[in-house]
C-alpha cells in the first residue's frame, strides 16, 4: 500500500511538473536572439534620434576625475568632440576656437555579449585618447587614463543612456544635448566654469563642522581631496572625483566627510565660496595658502627641459645610469619625478622600472610672505628602499641634493608662480647657488626625459 501511494504521488508530481514546464515555455514567445536583436534595434534608434548628439560624462581612473565628451551618431558613423584632446588642446579647441577632430568620423557597433554592448571599434583620435595604454598626460605605460571604449548598455531612453565600462567597470552616463546648443559654445562654457571655480586649496565650512575642526580640500586634477583629523587625531584623506558642467562641479558619487554628506558644488555668483547644490549651509571657502604650502601639499612634476643649467649634467648622468638600473641589469624606464605629497608622504617621488621610489623631505623656516623655504632630505623612514637604492647605485643622489640639503645645511629657495590661487607651475631659485634654477609643473609630466 505504501508503494502504491508513493507511485501515485510520483505520477501526480510529474504531471504537475509537465504542466508548469509548458507554461514556462509559453511565457517567452521570442527566442533570446530575437530579444537581443530588438534591444540592439531600440538602442540604435535612440542613439541616432538625438538631433544634436550626446554628452558623455566620461571617467577612467577616478584619480583624474571626469571629462565631457560630445558625440553624434549618423549613417553608421560617430563624430566626437571633447574638452580634452592631449596637451596641445587642453580645451578640445584649436587656436582659432574650432573643435579639434570634429571632422573625423569613425565606426561603432552594437553587439550582443551578455547584453547589449556599445563598441567604439573604429579609432578616433578624440575619443581613444582616453583609452590609450600609453598616454603622456596620465598614468603609467600600460594604464594611461584607464578609460574604456566598449560599454555595456544598462538602460537607454531618449534623454539618458547609462553605460558600464566593459574592461574597467566605470559608470558612464550619456545625456542628449539640447538641439540648439553649439558644441564649441558648450565646451567654452565648461572651460569658463572650471577657471572660475578651480583653486589649489579650499576649506570645507558650515553646518555640522565644529569650529575646532579644519577640513582642508585640495584640488588634484578633477578630484577634490578632503583632508582632516578624526576625533582620535588620526589623519584621513577622502577623494571626490568630479566633472565640470555649466552648473558647477558634479561629483561622481556622494560621500561623507567627518559626518557631513557631500554632493555637487554649485557655481554660484562669487568665486570666494561655492555652496553644496542641495544644501546652502555647507560650502567650499576658496583659499590662497602660502606658496611653500602649495608646494608641500601638491604634486609638482619635473621635465628635463625645465631643470636648468645646474641640474642638466646631473640628469644626464642619471639617464645613463638608468640603462642598467632595471632587473638583471636591463634598462629602467623613468615614468615621472615629482615633489610634494603622495599617499600621505611628503618629499621626492619617482616611478622607474616598475618601482615606486620615495625620499622624505622636510620644509622649514618659511619667510613671512611664504615664498622662501628651506628644504632638506633624510634617509630615515618613511624614505623607502627603492629611493635609497637609486640614490646609492643609480646616480640619483646628486639630483636629490639639488632639490634638498641635509642636516644643518638645507637648500633654501625663492619660489615664484603665475597664479597663487591656481598655479600651473612653481619656479625655484637657489639662494646659495644662482645657477640652480628650475621649474616644476602642476600638470602631470610622464617620461620627463622626453619633455
What is the tens place of the pLDDT at every residue in 168-190?
999 999 999 999 999 999 999 99
If you average pLDDT over residues 314-321, what whole number do you get?
A: 98
pLDDT of residue 211: 81
pLDDT of residue 138: 80
**315: helix, strand or coil:** helix
- Domains and their CATH numbers in the chain: 32-192 (2.40.128), 198-287 (2.40.128), 291-450 (no CATH)
pLDDT of residue 212: 82
Contact (Cβ atoms closer than 8 angstroms) between residue 284 and residue 267: no
The pTM is what? 0.80
- Cβ-based neighbours of 143, under 8 Å, separated by 6 or more: 61, 133
Contact (Cβ atoms closer than 8 angstroms) between residue 174 and residue 161: yes
What is the tens place of the pLDDT at every residue in 343-375?
889 999 999 998 999 999 999 999 999 999 999
How does DSSP assign 333-378, residue by residue?
-EEEEEEEEETTEEEEEEEETTEEEEEEEEEE---TTS-EEEEEEE
Evaluate if residue 209 carries a pLDDT over 60: yes
| 120/146 Cα distance (integer angstroms) | 15
| 321/332 Cα distance (integer angstroms) | 9
pLDDT of residue 100: 84
**272: helix, strand or coil:** coil
For cell 584607464, the residue is 146
Percent with pLDDT over 90 in the chain: 72
| 160/173 Cα distance (integer angstroms) | 7
CB atoms within 10 A of CB 105: 17
Evaluate if residue 415 carries a pLDDT over 90: yes
pLDDT of residue 137: 78
Evaluate if residue 394 carries a pLDDT over 60: yes
Strand partners of residue 415: 428
Percent with pLDDT over 70 in the chain: 92
Residues comprising the chain, all counted: 451
If you average pLDDT over residues 421-435, what whole number do you get?
A: 95
CA 151 from centre of chain: 19
| 179/288 Cα distance (integer angstroms) | 40
If you average pLDDT over residues 157-173, what whole number do you get?
A: 96
Q: Which of 64, 99, 83 lies closest to 195, judged by CA? A: 83
At 353, list the grid cell.
622600472
Q: Which of 200, 402, 175 lies closest to 310, judged by CA? A: 402
If you average pLDDT over residues 58-84, what whole number do you get?
A: 94
Q: Between the CA of residue 377 and those of 9, 31, 286, 364, what are the distances in Å?
A: 84, 69, 31, 11
If you average pLDDT over residues 49-72, what whole number do you get?
A: 96
Output the average pLDDT for the chain: 90
Task: Give 391's pLDDT tier (boundaries 50, 70, 90).
Answer: very high
Q: Which long-range contacts (CB under 8 A, 24 or more apart) does 192-196 make?
A: 193/244, 193/245, 193/246, 193/248, 193/267, 194/244, 195/422, 196/267, 196/271
What is the tens place of the pLDDT at every residue in 17-51?
444 444 445 555 677 778 888 999 999 999 999 99
CA 141 from centre of chain: 15
pLDDT of residue 205: 95
CA 258 from centre of chain: 23
Exposure string over 48-72, b if 16+ CB within 10 A, otherwise e: eebebbbbbbbbbbbbbbbbbbbbb
Task: Give 141's pLDDT tier (boundaries 50, 70, 90).
Answer: low
Q: Which of 245, 203, 244 lies closest to 223, judged by CA? A: 244
pLDDT of residue 11: 44
| 314/316 Cα distance (integer angstroms) | 5
Contact (Cβ atoms closer than 8 angstroms) between residue 118 and residue 156: no
| 76/131 Cα distance (integer angstroms) | 22
What is the tens place of the pLDDT at every residue in 80-97?
999 988 776 677 888 788
pLDDT of residue 98: 83
Angle in degrees, CA 343, 349, 355, rounded to 5: 90
Task: Give 6's pLDDT tier (boundaries 50, 70, 90).
Answer: very low
Is the N-terminal amide bond of 382 cis, ω within 30° of 0?
yes
If you average pLDDT over residues 311-337, what whole number do you get?
A: 96
Task: Give 234's pLDDT tier (boundaries 50, 70, 90).
Answer: confident
What is the tens place of the pLDDT at every residue in 261-285?
999 999 999 989 999 999 999 999 9
What is the tens place of the pLDDT at every residue in 125-136?
899 999 988 777
Amino acid at each position: 500500500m505504501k508503494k502504491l501511494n508513493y507511485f501515485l504521488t510520483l505520477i501526480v508530481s510529474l504531471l504537475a511538473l509537465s504542466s508548469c514546464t509548458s507554461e514556462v515555455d509559453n511565457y517567452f514567445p521570442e527566442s533570446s536572439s530575437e530579444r537581443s536583436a530588438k534591444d540592439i534595434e531600440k538602442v540604435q534608434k535612440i542613439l541616432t534620434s538625438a538631433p544634436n548628439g550626446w554628452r558623455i560624462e566620461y571617467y577612467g581612473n577616478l584619480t583624474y576625475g571626469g571629462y565631457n565628451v560630445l558625440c553624434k551618431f549618423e549613417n553608421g558613423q560617430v563624430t566626437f568632440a571633447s574638452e580634452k584632446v592631449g596637451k596641445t588642446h587642453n580645451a578640445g579647441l584649436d587656436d582659432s576656437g574650432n573643435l579639434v577632430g570634429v571632422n573625423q568620423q569613425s565606426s561603432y557597433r552594437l553587439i550582443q555579449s551578455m547584453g547589449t554592448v556599445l563598441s567604439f571599434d573604429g579609432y578616433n583620435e578624440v575619443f581613444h585618447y582616453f583609452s590609450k595604454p600609453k598616454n603622456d598626460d596620465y598614468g603609467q605605460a600600460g594604464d594611461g587614463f584607464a578609460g574604456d571604449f566598449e560599454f555595456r548598455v544598462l538602460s537607454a531612453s531618449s534623454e539618458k543612456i547609462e553605460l558600464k565600462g566593459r574592461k574597467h567597470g566605470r559608470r558612464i552616463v550619456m545625456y542628449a544635448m539640447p538641439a540648439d546648443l553649439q558644441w564649441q559654445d558648450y565646451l567654452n562654457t565648461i572651460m569658463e566654469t572650471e577657471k572660475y571655480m578651480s583653486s589649489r586649496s579650499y576649506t570645507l565650512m558650515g553646518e555640522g563642522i565644529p569650529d575646532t575642526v579644519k577640513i582642508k580640500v585640495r584640488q588634484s586634477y578633477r578630484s577634490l581631496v578632503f583632508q582632516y583629523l578624526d576625533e582620535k587625531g588620526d589623519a584621513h584623506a577622502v577623494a571626490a572625483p568630479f566633472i565640470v558642467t555649466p552648473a558647477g562641479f558634479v561629483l561622481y558619487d556622494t560621500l561623507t566627510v567627518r559626518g557631513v554628506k557631500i554632493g555637487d558644488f554649485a557655481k554660484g555668483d562669487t568665486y570666494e565660496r561655492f555652496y553644496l547644490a542641495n544644501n546652502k549651509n555647507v560650502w567650499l571657502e576658496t583659499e590662497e595658502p602660502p606658496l611653500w604650502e602649495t608646494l608641500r601639499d601638491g604634486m609638482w612634476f619635473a621635465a628635463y627641459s625645465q631643470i636648468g643649467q645646474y641640474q642638466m649634467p646631473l640628469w644626464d648622468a642619471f639617464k645613463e645610469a638608468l640603462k642598467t638600473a632595471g632587473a638583471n641589469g636591463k634598462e629602467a624606464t623613468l615614468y615621472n619625478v615629482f615633489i610634494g605629497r603622495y599617499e600621505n608622504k611628503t618629499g621626492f617621488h619617482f616611478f622607474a622600472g616598475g618601482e615606486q621610489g620615495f625620499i622624505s623631505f622636510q620644509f622649514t623656516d618659511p619667510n613671512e610672505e611664504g615664498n622662501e623655504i628651506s628644504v632638506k632630505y633624510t634617509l630615515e623612514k618613511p624614505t623607502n628602499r627603492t629611493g635609497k637604492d637609486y640614490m646609492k647605485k643609480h646616480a640619483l643622489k646628486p639630483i636629490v641634493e639639488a632639490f634638498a640639503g641635509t642636516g644643518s645645511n638645507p637648500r633654501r629657495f625663492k619660489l615664484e608662480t603665475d597664479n597663487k590661487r591656481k598655479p600651473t607651475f612653481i619656479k625655484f631659485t637657489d639662494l646659495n647657488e644662482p645657477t640652480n634654477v628650475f621649474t616644476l609643473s602642476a600638470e602631470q609630466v610622464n617620461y620627463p626625459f622626453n619633455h
